[in-house]
Amino acid sequence: MNLVGIASKAGVNTTCLENLINKGEGSIRLANRIGTSRSNITKFIEGTVSPGIAAAIGTNREHAQDFRNKIGREGAIGIIVGLACGMDRSKG
């Protein structure tokens, strides 16, 4: 699947994904999709887990922070994309 297909599955446009991948920036569309804020996504990519991100992952903040520390920046981007792709379109 190419970037256009992944963006479609995630419910966003390619610019949102490109900004996430290249700049580590969350977008309003991604935030709405996974139920958190744009700044929480950006902070997650930078290394800090918020309660909203922890809830989206399905765990508490402490466990999510430990996980984030282990997976690094690229893994964090993958988690955000995976969460967005996994959300039911009727919810996002």
Please list the pLDDT of the chain residue by residue as tens digits (92 residues). Answer: 799 999 999 999 999 999 999 999 999 999 999 999 999 999 999 999 999 999 999 999 999 999 999 999 999 999 999 999 998 654 44
Q: What is the pLDDT of residue 89?
A: 53
Q: What is the pLDDT of residue 88?
A: 62
Nearest one of 2, 71, 89 to 80, comparing CA atoms:
71
Location of structure tokens 């995976």: 82
Ranges of each domain in the chain: 3-86
Is 58 within 8 Å of 49 (Cβ atoms)? no
Between helices 14-23 and 61-86, what is the axis angle to 10°?
A: 150
Query: Distance between CA 37 and CA 52 in Å, rounded?
Result: 8
Location of structure tokens 């963006």: 7
Dihedral sign computed on CA atoms, order 58, 63, 47, 81: negative
Q: Is the pTM of this model over 0.85?
A: yes
